[in-house]
Amino acid sequence: MRTHGFGFPGKVVSAALVAAALVVGGCATSEHPPAPASAATPEYRYLVGPLDTVNIIVWRNPELSMSVPVRPDGRITTPLVEDLPALGKDPTTLARDIEKALEKYIRDPVVTVIVTNFVGPFNEQIRVIGEATRPQVLPYRQNMTVLDVMIAVGGLTDFADGNNARILRTSEGNKIYSVRLKDLVKRGDVSANVDVKPGDVLVIPESWF
Domain ranges for the chain = 20-43+122-204, 53-117
Average pLDDT of 141-146?
A: 96
Give pLDDT, residue 30.
55
In CATH, what number does 53-117 get?
3.30.1950.10
Distance of CA 190 to the CA centre of its chain: 23
Give pLDDT, residue 18.
47
- Does residue 13 register a pLDDT over 50? no
Give pLDDT, residue 23.
52
CATH topology for 20-43+122-204 is Outer membrane lipoprotein wza fold like (3.10.560)
Per residue, the 3-state secondary structure of the chain, as one string, reads CCCCCCCCCCCCCCHHHHHHHHHHHCCCCCCCCECCCCCCCCCCCCCCCCCCEEEEEECCCHHHCEEEECCCCCEEEECCEEEEECCCCCHHHHHHHHHHHHCCCCCCCCEEEEEEECCCCHHHCEEEEECECCCEEECCCCCCEHHHHHHHCCCECCCECHHHEEEEEHHHCCEEEEECHHHHHCCCCHHHCCECCCCEEEEECECCC
From the list 136, 131, 133, 132, the residue with the least C-alpha distance to 119 is: 136
Give pLDDT, residue 40.
84
Per-residue pLDDT reduced to its tens digit, 84-101:
999 999 999 999 999 999
Per-residue pLDDT reduced to its tens digit, 106-139:
999 999 999 999 999 999 999 999 999 999 999 9
* Report field, pTM of the whole predicted structure over 0.85: no
- Does residue 28 register a pLDDT over 90? no
Average pLDDT of 168-196?
A: 97
Asked, colleague to colleague, whether 20-43+122-204 and 53-117 share their fold, the answer is: no
The total of other beta-carbon atoms located within 10 Å of residue 14's CB is: 8
